Amino acid sequence: MNHQSSTSYYHILVTLIIILFISNLSTAFGSTKSKATISSNPVYKTYIQKACNTTRFPVLCCTTLYPFASRIKEDDVKLSKISLSLTLNATRSAYFSISNALKQSRLTHTEVAVVKDCVDNIKDAVYELRQSFHSIELLGGKDRDFQVSNIQTWVSAALTDEDTCIEGFNEQKVSPEVKNRIKMSVIKVARMTSNTLAFINSLTYSRSSNNEG
């Protein structure tokens, strides 16, 4: 009798475990499927594509922003904010990469001077992009246009610093190895900054259009 009772209990326990496993598996699969459906929503991707077509570097723009389509949806502010955040992160990474190259590479005196200037410029760009991101996080209220104007100023300044870095490599005699390693990373960051600035400029345009309507 005890043996039968123990066996029945074991069977019930195994059955419950199997049911619980299947239930959790179904929930996880359903959640994954739901997320995949949202992230692949063609409406959101179409919105990003149209927005990116207004920038100077649409291919880079789409590649960068498509993974965030479900978060951006069709929101101009979210588009600007996420683009700005990605640009800030990329610029920060470029700064650390260039700083490390300055420490590790065997550079001529001219190359050291050019790279140091670039490091300073990118450091300034990081600061300016960080300021603009803090501002866009607080965007809203009656002085919204003034806030957008400040963000435009910060991002424009960052783009100027990045372009200054690039020009330094064009004007001075630098080995192709050093130029390719550093210049190309800064060019990508500058293009991302340019795209972000286009989105932020559109915030002012959208606001003006709404006021006229």
Q: Where are the domains of the chain?
A: 75-204
Residue 206's pLDDT band (cuts 50, 70, 90): low
The structure's pTM equals 0.77
Inform me whether the pLDDT recorded for 87 exceeds 90: yes
Inform me whether the pLDDT recorded for 7 exceeds 70: no
In DSSP notation, 157-173 reads HHHHHHHHHHHHHHHS-
Q: What six digits make up the tokens of 137?
A: 């996080």
Q: Which fold has domain 75-204?
A: Butyryl-CoA Dehydrogenase, subunit A; domain 3 (1.20.140)
Burial class (CB in 10 A: 0-12, 13-18, 19+), 109: exposed
Inform me whether the pLDDT recorded for 22 exceeds 50: no
What confidence score (pLDDT) does residue 105 get?
Answer: 65
Inform me whether the pLDDT recorded for 82 exceeds 70: yes
Q: What six digits make up the tokens of 22?
A: 């299947």
Across 11-38, average pLDDT: 46
What confidence score (pLDDT) does residue 124 get?
Answer: 98
What pLDDT digit, counting tens, does each position of 152-181 carry? 999 999 999 999 999 988 887 888 888 888
Mean confidence (pLDDT) of the chain: 82
Q: For residues 210 and 208, what is the distance between their CA atoms, to the nearest angstrom?
A: 5
What pLDDT digit, counting tens, does each position of 122-140 carry? 999 999 999 999 999 999 8
Select from 118, 120, 126, 123 the least CA-distant residue to 171: 118
What confidence score (pLDDT) does residue 176 get?
Answer: 84
Select from 178, 155, 156, 153 the least CA-distant residue to 168: 178
Residue 12's pLDDT band (cuts 50, 70, 90): low
What confidence score (pLDDT) does residue 16 get?
Answer: 52
Other C-beta atoms closer than 10 Å to the C-beta of 106 total 7
